[in-house]
Amino acid sequence: MKLQEVIDKLSLKALTDVEDRNVSGVHISDMLSEVMSSAQSENLWLTIQTHKNIVSAANLIDISAVIVTNGKIVPEDTIELANRYHVNILSYPEPAFKLVSKLIEAGIQ
């Protein structure tokens, strides 16, 4: 599935310029070290983290998009860095578990 299709189906809010990428799987974690050791390329990464280090971790793993849940506000410096390194950051206003059920319904696991 393509990222833009996921954004449209789930009404996700793009915080960065969106580069449409393939999506294959989901990784949920708020620990950067765990993401760097366990996430896979083309995963969606669900987190509540908003600091600039999420951009580095997402770029290292080649994450399709970081989805910041719980309506957390992402600082402008994080968004600017993400745009510079072509990392997609999206937001979702509710907890990750609600988004996971919608992702499964959409066929992403």
pLDDT tens per residue across all 109 residues of the chain: 999 999 999 999 999 999 999 999 999 999 999 999 999 999 999 999 999 999 999 999 999 999 999 999 999 999 999 999 999 999 999 999 999 999 999 998 7
pTM, rounded to two decimals: 0.96
Q: CB of 92 within 8 A of CB of 15? A: no
Fold of 3-105: 3.40.1390
pLDDT score at 21: 97
User: How many Cα atoms sit within 13 Å of 108 on the Cβ side?
Assistant: 25
